[in-house]
Structure 1
Amino acid sequence: MSTYLTGLIVLFLTLTLHASELLVVTEEWPPYNYKENNLVTGYSTEIVQKVLKKANINYTIRLYPWARAYDLALKKENILIYTIVRTPEREALFQWLGPILPGKKFYLYKLKSRKDISLTTIDDAKNFKTAIMRDDVTHQFLNARGFIDEKHLDLSVSEEINIKKLFNNRADLIIGNVESLPLRIKNLQFDFSKVEPAIFMFEHGYYMALSAQSDEQLFNRLNTAMKQVFTPEYQKSLALKYKVKLLFPSSDE
């Protein structure tokens, strides 16, 4: 009986360890998640790493094109994806942790020189070609409003490709926010002062999300660790480190 019980305990521990090994996926999106000196870092990455360390969970972080990262998290168990926008359409697709970042305002952007582009409503953008990243939240947002792939939308695997298309006059519009878009444009050695918002799109908060197929106990461990380590003070210190703008109750915004 003792040998039998010992075997059960070993099996239980092995299965628990296996269930606790996560593949953590995200995209290249500075200053939140990006590779530097061959290591994945950034505002959101440090939060994820601190939570997983507190939860004592083994993990590997991989940077993928967003469509691949999203597909993995959608279809496989024990996948943690970040920095992901939480929308009503996505609510039942994942187990949500956060928010790790307040909502950012996303706009359709155009070149200032394009005086022919004037948008009063989102639907007005159907008269132009918008370069957009496949399967990200903005793609889903526009699809839900009747924008058709290849007709209204020019799909790509990265925002960097979209920026190049805009500046090379191969697209009329791109999507971004005032915090990350200037950095991406600068990294590509273009001039952010040459672009301007054409119209506001939406604002949603950013989260970590565990694939829906994952064990509920694993989610509970992550959620408990999140509440313990992700304090307002820690968030503010990270925001200062990575120059991320946060909206706090004392803010004027």
Structure 2
Amino acid sequence: MTPAKLTTALLLCLLLAQPAWAEQPYQIVTEEWAPYNYLDNHRLTGMTTDIVQAIMALTGDHFETMVLPSMRSSQVLRNRPRVILYSMFRTPEREPLYKWVGPIVEEAIYPYQLASAAPPLNSLEQLLQAPRVTTRQAGLIPDVLQAKGFTNLDKSAAENQQLYLMLVAGRTGVIVGDTAAGVAYYTRQLHIAPGTLRQVPVELYRSSLYIAFSRDSDDATVTAWANALQHLRDTGELARIQQRYQQPASP
């Protein structure tokens, strides 16, 4: 083979070659965040879990799902190829980092205090001056609160359940961490009587939840998932899944 032909052959091989990971299946990661994605008797369930499974039933995908701590799942999405993460708030800062499928559901975050607390808090100014506002150690919500000027944050809760236990035990006066659906779920799980908690009428954050794909993800796969989600929306199946997890706590 002449040098010219050898060079042409090498260039052709380089053009046709794909990265080693290109043939690997996608890895789905999620975290414990009820009622969207959580373990129930060691079985992964939740609103978004059901939606992701319904999407894969339509696309024919069978990707493995791992449940990881919040910070770890975000690191995997940022640093590993061919990763899908759910559920994630889509923010301006995150927008260019990932490819997005959604929205799945729009949610808001409010603070909560005991209904018996006196005086009741009703404004952002009162929240900023409260002795302590407890939230989780890491994640989007602590960052949002700090950006709003909260200097009274207690970020000692490693898990969502701790927020409610601390509030009921009198170890904090205000908690911030879950949507209304999440609060309903945890109060049921912890057998906190209806009416024990009061939602402070200050919306601290509102956004929509999405499925995030790592930037290297194939556009055809992302589009297939987006089309499948739209099919679930058009047929009413998306609303039916959402309603299963948005039922209020029984009195």
* Counterpart mapping for 1:237-252 below 5 A: 237-240=240-243, 242-244=244-246
Contact 1:54–1:229 at 8 Å: present in 2 too? Answer: no
| Percent identity over paired residues | 20
Unaligned runs of 5+ in 1: 246-253
TM-score in terms of structure 2 length: 0.79
Corresponding residue for residue 108 of structure 2: 105
Deviation digits for residues 26-58 of structure 1 (CA, Å, limit 9, x no counterpart): 222333212234321222112222334544545
Contact 2:110–2:199 at 8 Å: present in 1 too? Answer: yes
Corresponding residue for residue 124 of structure 2: 121
Is 1:92 equivalent to 2:93 in the alignment? no
Is 1:235 equivalent to 2:241 in the alignment? no
1:74–1:146 CA distance, 2 compared to 1 (3 A): farther
Secondary structure of 2:91's counterpart equals coil
Q: CA deviation at 1:12?
A: 5.1
1:228–1:152 CA distance, 2 compared to 1 (3 A): closer
1:104–1:50 CA distance, 2 compared to 1 (3 A): same
Corresponding residue for residue 78 of structure 2: 74
Q: CA deviation at 1:83?
A: 1.2
Corresponding residue for residue 16 of structure 1: 22
1:78–1:133 CA distance, 2 compared to 1 (3 A): farther
Contact 2:90–2:210 at 8 Å: present in 1 too? Answer: yes
Corresponding residue for residue 248 of structure 1: none
1:156–1:193 CA distance, 2 compared to 1 (3 A): same
Corresponding residue for residue 29 of structure 1: 33
Larger radius of gyration: 2
The whole-number CA distance in structure 2 between the counterparts of 1:122 and 1:25 is: 38
1:107–1:13 CA distance, 2 compared to 1 (3 A): closer
One-letter amino acid of the counterpart of residue 141, structure 1: V
Corresponding residue for residue 183 of structure 1: 185
Deviation digits for residues 80-135 of structure 1 (CA, Å, limit 9, x no counterpart): 2111111223222322111111x112111111121135242267334331221233
Corresponding residue for residue 224 of structure 2: 224
1:51–1:169 CA distance, 2 compared to 1 (3 A): same
Contact 1:105–1:201 at 8 Å: present in 2 too? Answer: yes
1:79–1:133 CA distance, 2 compared to 1 (3 A): farther
Which one of 183, 198, 203 corresponds to residue 196 of structure 1? 198
Which one of 207, 210, 213 corresponds to residue 210 of structure 1? 213
One-letter amino acid of the counterpart of residue 22, structure 1: Y
Deviation digits for residues 203-244 of structure 1 (CA, Å, limit 9, x no counterpart): 211100113xx424x24312223213542222123234x243
The whole-number CA distance in structure 1 between the counterparts of 2:230 and 2:137 is: 31
Secondary structure of 1:16's counterpart equals helix
Contact 2:46–2:245 at 8 Å: present in 1 too? Answer: no
Aligned residues: 232
Deviates more, 1:48-57 or 1:28-37: 48-57
The whole-number CA distance in structure 2 between the counterparts of 1:129 and 1:26 is: 30
The whole-number CA distance in structure 2 between the counterparts of 1:13 and 1:121 is: 51
The whole-number CA distance in structure 2 between the counterparts of 1:152 and 1:14 is: 45
One-letter amino acid of the counterpart of residue 185, structure 1: T
Contact 1:126–1:152 at 8 Å: present in 2 too? Answer: no
Is 1:163 equivalent to 2:164 in the alignment? yes
Q: CA deviation at 1:13?
A: 9.9
Contact 1:109–1:173 at 8 Å: present in 2 too? Answer: yes
1:187–1:22 CA distance, 2 compared to 1 (3 A): same
Deviation digits for residues 135-164 of structure 1 (CA, Å, limit 9, x no counterpart): 32211211222334xx52323221111111
Is 1:48 equivalent to 2:49 in the alignment? no
